[in-house]
Amino acid sequence: MQLGQSETWSLRAAQGWLGLGCIREAKAEIRTVPRHLRTDPGVLAVRSEIYAAAGKWRLAGRAARMIITAQPNEPSGYLRAANALHHLKHTDAAVDILRCVAKHFPDEFLIAYRLACYCCHLGNFRESWLWLKRAMKIGDKPKVELMATADPELQPLWKYRSKRARRRSPYQRPGR
């Protein structure tokens, strides 16, 4: 069943409240959507955002899995599920999910970017760097570079790369 004008308005209002940091108001707005329409992928996406903003990661993950079921050919559900797993301290599972779907969504830079973040979190800096390079290749390189340099989740990667660069003397011949 398709959302009507009033349900679409409620979704936009909930997103607006969420954008203002008003989680309670966003929840109240989303509750105005009739029960039989609450499994609509758009409604589930907003519910997932509300749960994430409230730190209710299990519920955010549940909503994400419902999005995946409803729209298996869309990357957003997988990204939301991986994010929830990461926040639930199951980053390795988040990486597994995104590695699998990266093959199905080769043009989705955000999958490669999140893989870079999660691999960095796990201390796998080489793989993190490879995913970040892929994200820059797929997406708008200057935008991805700006995101990456400002992202606190990638700060350990920059430290790692800086240490590696200092270890190499400019006077050393390659292979030594």
Query: Phi and psi of 97, rounded to 5°?
Result: -60, -50
Is 46 found in the same domain as 4?
A: yes
Asked whether residue 96 falls in the same domain as residue 30, the answer is no
Coil, helix or strand at residue 79: helix
* SS3 of residue 106 by DSSP: coil
Domain, as residue range, for 131: 91-168
**pLDDT confidence bin for 161, thresholds 50/70/90:** confident
Contact 78, 67 (CB under 8 A): no
From the list 59, 58, 22, the residue with the least C-alpha distance to 38 is: 59
Question: Both 66 and 98 in a single domain?
Answer: no
Residue 176 lies in a domain: no
Confidence band of 168 (pLDDT split at 50, 70, 90): low
- pLDDT tens track for 40-81: 999 999 999 999 999 999 999 999 999 999 999 999 999 999
- Specify if 65 maps to a domain: yes
Q: 32 by DSSP, 3-state: which? A: coil
Mean pLDDT of all residues in the chain? 92
